[in-house]
Structure 1
Amino acid sequence: MSKRNKTIYFFYPGGEILTGQELASRQILELLDGDGYSFVTHQIPTFERQNNRLTASILYICQVVTLWLKMLSLIFVSKLVVYVNLGQSYTALFREGLMLSFLRAVRPGIRIVISLHGNYFTAWPQSIKKTLFNKILKRANIITVLGESQKDCLRQWAIEEKNIRVTPNSAIIEPVNECDIKAKIRGKQRLQVLFLSNLMSAKGFTEYIEAIGILSQRSDIPEFNAVLCGKFIKTELQSSLHGSKPIQQWLKDKLTEINSSPKISLEWIEGAYGEEKKTLFRNSDIFVFPSRYKIEAQPIVILEAMASGCVILTSNVGLICETVSDCGIIINSTEPGEIAHQLELLLCNRTKCEKLALAGLKRYSDMFNKYQYRNNWDMIFKELTDEHEKTRLAN
Structure 2
Amino acid sequence: MNMKNYMNNKSKILFIMHMPPPVHGAAMMGKYIHDSQVINQAFDCRYFNLTLAKNLQDIGKGGIRKFKDFIRQLWNIRKEVKAFQPDLCYVTPNAKGGAFYKDFVVVMMLKAMRQKVVIHYHNKGIATRQHKFLDNFLYRNFFKNLKVILLAEPLYQDISKYVKRENVSICPNGIPTNEIIPLKTSHPNFNILFLSNMMKEKGVWDLVEACRLLKKEGKKFHCDFVGKWSDITETDFYSRIQEDGLEQYITAHGAKYGDEKNAFFQKTDLFVFPTYYNNECFPLVLLEAMEQGIACISTNEGGISAIIQEGKTGYIVKKQEPQILAGKIEYLIDHPDICQRMGQTGKDRFDHEFTLDKFENQISKILKTIIFQDK
**1:315 CA drift (Å):** 1.6
Are 2:327 and 1:341 equivalent residues in the alignment?
A: yes
**Alignment partner, residue 86 of structure 1:** 93
- Count residues in correspondence: 360
Decide whether the 8 Å contact of 2:91 with 2:120 is kept in 1.
yes
In 2: Cα distance, 1:300 partner to 1:267 partner: 23
Aligned equivalents of 2:155, 2:362: Cα separation in 1: 17
Which amino acid is the alignment partner of residue 77 of structure 1? F
Q: Secondary structure at the match of 1:287?
A: strand
What amino acid is the match of 1:225? H
The amino acid of 2:284's aligned partner reads I
Indicate the residue corresponding to 1:206 in structure 2: 205
The aligned runs of 1:65-144 (5 Å cut-off) are 65-73=71-79, 74-107=81-114, 110-128=115-133, 129-140=135-146, 142-144=147-149
| CA drift at 1:300 | 1.4
Letter in 1 for 2:173: N
Cα gap change, 1:260/1:145 in structure 2, threshold over 3 Å: closer, same or farther?
A: closer
Question: Does residue 272 in structure 1 map to residue 256 in structure 2?
Answer: yes
Contact 2:42–2:364 (8 Å) recurs in 1: no
Counterpart position of 1:166: 170
Q: Which runs of 5+ in 2 are unaligned?
A: 57-61
Aligned residue among 143, 148, 166 for 2:153 = 148
Q: Following superposition of structure 1 onto structure 2, how do residues 1-395 of structure 1 map, counting pairs within 5 Å?
A: 1=5, 4-14=9-19, 16-31=21-36, 32=38, 34-48=40-54, 57-73=63-79, 74-107=81-114, 110-128=115-133, 129-140=135-146, 142-151=147-156, 154=159, 156-157=160-161, 159-174=163-178, 184=184, 187-217=186-216, 220-222=218-220, 224-233=221-230, 236=231, 247-255=233-241, 260-261=247-248, 264=249, 266-326=250-310, 327-386=313-372
Is the 1:10–1:39 Cα contact (8 Å) retained in structure 2?
yes
State the SS of the aligned residue for 1:324: coil
Deviations 1:156-188 (A, max 9, x none): 4353444210111122243888xx7xx648x43
Deviation at 1:229, TM superposition (A): 1.2
Q: Do the aligned partners of 2:203 and 2:274 also contact (CA within 8 Å) in 1?
A: yes
- State, as a whole percentage, how many aligned pairs show the same letter: 20
Mean CA deviation greater in 334-343 or 304-313: 334-343
RMSD: 3.0
What letter matches 1:381 in structure 2? Answer: L
Post-superposition CA distance 1:11-59 (Å, at most 9, x none): 2224654222112222222334543445322222334489xxxxx8332
The worse-fitting range, judged by mean Cα deviation, of 369-378 and 123-132 is 123-132
Partner SS state of residue 17, structure 2: strand
1:225 deviation in Å? 3.0
Alpha-carbon offset, residue 379 of structure 1: 1.0
Can you list the C-alpha shifts for 1:216-270, whole angstroms capped at 9, x where unaligned?
Answer: 455x322x3321111133xx26xxxxxxxxx432212245565643xx3x33222
Change (3 A) 1:175 1:366: farther
Q: TM (normalized to structure 2)? A: 0.84
Distance 1:275 1:139, change over 3 A: farther
Larger displacement relative to structure 2 (160-169 or 73-82): 73-82
Distance 1:316 1:49, change over 3 A: closer
Give the secondary-structure state (helix, strand or coil) at the position aligned to 2:41. Answer: coil
How many angstroms apart in 2 are the aligned matches of 1:176 and 1:325? 25
2: CA distance between counterparts of 1:355 and 1:148?
26
CA distance, structure 2, for counterparts of residue 171 and residue 87 of structure 1: 22
Give the TM-score taking structure 1 as reference length.
Answer: 0.80
Alignment partners' CA distance in 1, 2:329 and 2:265? 17
Counterpart code for 1:227: D
Contact 2:187-2:267 at 8 Å conserved across structures: no
Match of 1:240 in 2: none
1:210–1:176 CA distance, 2 compared to 1 (3 A): farther
Letter in 2 for 1:201: K
Give SS of 1:227's match: strand
**Shift of residue 204, structure 1, vs aligned partner:** 0.5
Verify the 8 A CA contact 2:18 2:92 in the aligned structure 1: yes
Amino acid paired to 2:336: R
Partner Cα distance (1:273, 1:173) in 2: 15
